[in-house]
Chain A
Amino acid sequence: MDFLQFLLTLDSTLRLSTVLLLACLAGLFSERSGIVDIGLEGKMLISAFVAAAIAYESGSVWVGLAAGMAASLVFAMIHGVASILYRGDQIISGVALNFFASGLTVVVGDAIYRQGGQTPVLAGSARFSEITLPFADALSDVPLLGPIYSELISGHKPLVYVAFLAVPLVWWVLFRTRFGLRLRAVGENPSSVDTAGVSVIGMRFKALMITGLLCGIAGAYLSTSQAAGFGKEMTAGRGYIALAALIFAKWRPIHAMGACLLFGLLEAISNLYPNIDVFGLFTIPVQFTQTLPYILTVIILGGFIGRAMPPASIGQPYVKER
């Protein structure tokens, strides 16, 4: 593998990690507040569909993005009403919303466009285009650093930069603001937050709103940046991989970026080099590379590499004592 090929693999990694990273940060807010979110997948899917459909109808990808985020937010709020207000089971709610999104996107998409659930191909301003960073062309001839800058760092869609810039922002919000402190406290020990006079229900709803909006960006990225339109089941389990990345990162934002880059790299490798021949001795089948994120997560969860401790009150509805 030469240097350029290596760079292209990393370039593909960045693009594939973006959607995982956005969804993973989304899940981070929800889970840190004590709400399990199996429904990242469904929220991304509904957003991917709505973003593609609205971008196609309006001709503006930004309007599409806003609509996708709104749709995802609605799903997040249904999850909130079920699991926060009505103390419903958070896993059941998440699973159901995933089904709902799989069904609804195809039913509505097929009714409007009659293409088996697909939306028409997006072109021009209905799709995000690449941003060329300043001096990318001028610097491309500089040895080593030139190609790294012009091939790897420059030339991505705007949401790629949004996702990676969100990481320090999320870290700052979570660990350096009052909101972040309360958010973490609500996931660890909600009654202490309640005693301090802060509404547990309010905090959890705020967290789920952020989850909804971030999942919305992730979904819109899939259908308007990575692809040019919505396709049936286009999230293809990425919501679950993001959930795995969140556990792998032990619910920490900077580590989440690392986990998403690793899982994105595995996806890039399985796309570019399906079956890897190891010195002619044996081949690593593509299924293994594709499944490695799940296997690694199970190993982490089993406590064989460090210990993954979720927020203490995760999954339990909070009932105020009377």
Chain B
Amino acid sequence: MTELPRWADVVLVPLINIALAFIVAGLVVLAIGQNPFDMMYFMVKGALGSTSSIGYTLYYTTNFIFTGLAFAVAMNAKLFNIGGEGQAAIGGLGAALVLLAVDWPHWTLALPAAVIGASVFGAGWAAIPAYLQAKRGSHIVITTIMFNFIGAAVIGYLLNGALKKPGQQVPESPSFGDGASLPTFHEMLQPFGIAFNKSAPANISFLLAIAAAVLVWLLIWRSRIGYEIRAFGNSPGATLYAGISSVRVTIIAMLISGALAGMMAINSVMGQQERLIKDFVEGAGFMGIAVSLMGRNHPFGIVLAAFLFGMLNQGGFELMWEMPEISREMVLVIQALIIIFTGALVNMTRDPIERIFLRLHNKGAA
């Protein structure tokens, strides 16, 4: 036996790593003279304590599901799409253009149109780095980073010019019409007699995100192109001999990835802001990397990890009121530590655990 049992690989190792991340985060909190247990209590309370906080948590969760899935699809082809941030921003532009172009009569018509706008623009923004990787061999990590900055500049330029709402100084587009307003959890749950906070931003996009997770699972593990993507990721050489085009797989994986990142804008731009603002992505594109890593690039894991990161995000906001001594950036510290321990340092815990299992196994055999 050389490999860890599956449950240890999928559950035990990540749990130990998350525990380590929280321990180090706790030490940081202690170092600034605060009580880490109080912080945890207020963060969990702030994330799940009321329907308002749950609504915010699920809103962030939705963003992270989309960006996490985006990263995972590319990662299954061993393509490091670090450009979720830019693809989401340009996806937002696509959604906004569609929603501003027509005075939509009802959200049921506006939503599919906006989904097309967001995903086509997001995919388009991923297409150039994908082409450069597939055809010209330029490293996708660097090109997607560059495209994040270029994307931000494009949005900044348009919001200061062509898309700016007339007669105001703030770089924002005009608001979308009432017909483009998505139903929130409050409106969705009212018919069932469940009272949900009215101002919480969680909206129907959450269901869209869950559907996207299922579709990604079907795509990656149950479809022909998904098989090709995974095969290419595991062994590009073997896929070459199997007659699978590396150019085709690279470009398709990146287009799907970019489209999913762009879909984040449905939740944020269409669902919450109801207009295009600068920096609406707020790092969700980068967080998708962490979410996907924690979820081991699998849709089910990603949904769980997105929920954890959504809780952290929302809990961090609430922390401002309960423990003003700890600044909101503490969330970033915890998230960074989770990425360090579950991503970069994974072998630090994995190797010893593997040895323990090996010893146990040998004992059992003898």
Which of A86, A89, A295 is most buried by chain B, counting CB atoms within 10 A of its CB? A86
Sorting the interface of chain B by its residue count into under 10, 10 to 19, 20 to 34 or 35 or more gives 35 or more
Find out whether the CB atom of B326 lies under 8 angstroms from the CB atom of A111.
yes
Provide the residues of chain B in CB contact with A108, threshold 8 Å: 28, 31-32
B residues 117-132 touching A (CB-CB < 8 Å): 128, 132
Residues on A with beta carbons closer than 8 Å to the beta carbon of B339 = 92, 95-96, 99
Task: Provide the residues of chain B in CB contact with A81, threshold 8 Å.
Answer: 345
| Chain B 341-354 near chain A by CB (<8 Å), digits 1 or 0 | 00111111001000
Question: Which B residues lie within 8 Å of A110 (CB)?
Answer: 327, 329
B interface, over-half SS? helix
Mark out the residues of chain B between 126 and 142 whose CB falls within 8 Å of any chain A CB in the assembled complex: 128, 132, 136-139, 141-142
Q: Which of A38, A88, A111, A303 contacts B347 (CB under 8 A)? A: A88
Q: Does A12 contact B (CB under 8 A)?
A: no
Contact indicator per residue, chain A 273-303, by CB within 8 Å of chain B (1) or not (0): 0000000000001011011001101100111
Query: Which of the residues B80, B153, B289 comes within 8 Å of A287, measured between beta carbons?
Result: B153
A310 touching B139, Cβ below 8 Å: yes
A298-B80 contact, Cβ under 8 Å, with A92-B343, A244-B146 = no
User: Given A108-B32, A310-B139, are A95 and B329 neighbors across the interface (CB < 8 Å)?
Assistant: no
Chain A residues with CB under 8 Å of B154's CB are 287
* Given A93-B343, A100-B340, A298-B147: A291 and B329 interface contact (C-beta under 8 Å): no
B335 touching A99, Cβ below 8 Å: yes
B141: contacting residue among A83, A87, A91, A290, CB under 8 A? A91
- Shortest C-beta distance, A241 to chain B (Å), equals 8
Interface: A146 (CB within 8 A): no
Shortest Cβ gap from A222 to chain B (Å):
19
> Most A CB atoms within 10 A — which of B33, B146, B293, B344?
B344
Let me know if A26 is at the binding interface, CB within 8 A: no
Q: Does B330 contact A (CB under 8 A)?
A: yes
CB distance from A75 to the nearest CB of B (A): 11
* CB of B180 closer than 8 Å to a CB of A: no
Residues of A within 8 A of B347 (CB): 86-88
Within 8 A of B (CB), among A17-58: 36, 38
Taking chain A's interface residues, is the majority helix, strand, or loop, or is none over half, making it mixed? helix
Specify which chain B residues have a CB less than 8 angstroms from the CB of A92 in the assembled complex: 289, 293, 339, 343-344
Contacts of A36 in B (CB 8 A): 141
Whether, in the assembled complex, B211 has its beta carbon less than 8 Å from a beta carbon of chain A, the answer is no
Contacts of B128 on A, CB cut-off 8 Å? 298
Give the residues in chain A near B340, CB-CB below 8 Å: 78, 82, 93, 96-97, 100
- Complex CA distance for A89 and B348, rounded to whole angstroms: 12
Whether, in the assembled complex, B225 has its beta carbon less than 8 Å from a beta carbon of chain A, the answer is no
Chain B residues 251 to 275 lying within 8 A of chain A, measured CB to CB, are none
Contact of B157 with A by CB under 8 A: yes
Does B8 reach chain A (CB closer than 8 Å)?
no
Q: How near does chain B come to A306, taking the closest CB pair, in angstroms?
A: 12
Is B304's CB within 8 Å of the partner chain A? Answer: no
CB distance B138 to A100 under 8 Å?
no
- Contact (Cβ within 8 A) A294 B150: yes
CB-based contact A88/B327 at 8 Å: no
Known: A295-B150, A301-B132. A89 touches B145 (CB 8 A): no
Q: How far is the CB of A83 from chain B (nearest CB, A)?
A: 7
Q: Contacts A88-B344, A96-B343 hold; do A301 and B80 have CB atoms under 8 A apart?
A: no
Q: Is A67 at the interface (CB under 8 A from chain B)?
A: no
Query: CB distance A291 to B149 under 8 Å?
Result: yes
Q: Which of A113-162 contact B (CB under 8 A)?
A: 116-117
Question: Which chain B residues in 321-366 approach chain A with CB under 8 Å?
Answer: 325-327, 329-337, 339-340, 343-348, 351
B156 interfacial contact with A, CB 8 Å: yes
How far in angstroms is the closest Cβ of chain A from B295? Answer: 14
Residue B327 contacts which of A89, A97, A107, A302 (CB distance < 8 angstroms)?
Answer: A107
| Residues of B in contact with A (beta carbons under 8 Å apart) | 28, 31-34, 80, 82, 128, 132, 136-139, 141-143, 145-147, 149-150, 153-154, 156-157, 160-161, 286, 289-290, 293, 325-327, 329-337, 339-340, 343-348, 351
User: Which 10 interchain pairs have the tightest Cβ spacing?
Assistant: A103-B332, A93-B344, A99-B336, A103-B333, A301-B138, A100-B336, A96-B339, A111-B32, A82-B344, A106-B329
16 interchain pairs, CB-CB under 8 A: A83-B344, A95-B289, A96-B344, A100-B332, A100-B336, A102-B329, A240-B149, A243-B145, A247-B142, A287-B154, A291-B153, A298-B147, A301-B138, A301-B139, A301-B143, A302-B136
